[in-house]
Amino acid sequence: RMAHLAGAMYPWDQLAGRFPSHGTNRLFFSLMPINRGRNDICAYALNVGPGNPATFIGCHTVVR
C-alpha cells in the first residue's frame, strides 16, 4: 500500500559519482505519520532507469 511519497531532492556526491547520468540528487528525507506498534517502512525508486518503473530499495521495521 502506497502511503507516502518523497523525492530524492538532496545532493549526495558520493553516490552521484557512481551514477553520473542520473544527476547529483540521490538523498531523500521524509517525515510521515505512523501507527502505534510495529510498522514496516519500505522504499522504492519509482521511474528510475529504462524499463524499470519500480526498483525495490529495502524495508525497515519501526516501533512506535
Cα–Cα dist 23/15, whole Å: 10
| 38 is a domain residue | yes
Residues of the chain with pLDDT under 70: 1-3, 48-50, 52
Q: What is the pLDDT of residue 12?
A: 80
What's 56's DSSP letter? Answer: E
Query: Is 36 part of any domain?
Result: yes
- State residue 59's pLDDT score: 94
Q: Which residue has the cell 526498483?
A: 55
Q: How many domains does the chain have?
A: 1
Q: What is the pTM of this model?
A: 0.62
The C-alpha cell 525497515 sits at: 60
Q: Is residue 2 part of a domain?
A: no
Question: Which domain range does residue 25 map to?
Answer: 10-63
pLDDT tens for 43-55 read: 888 776 667 678 8
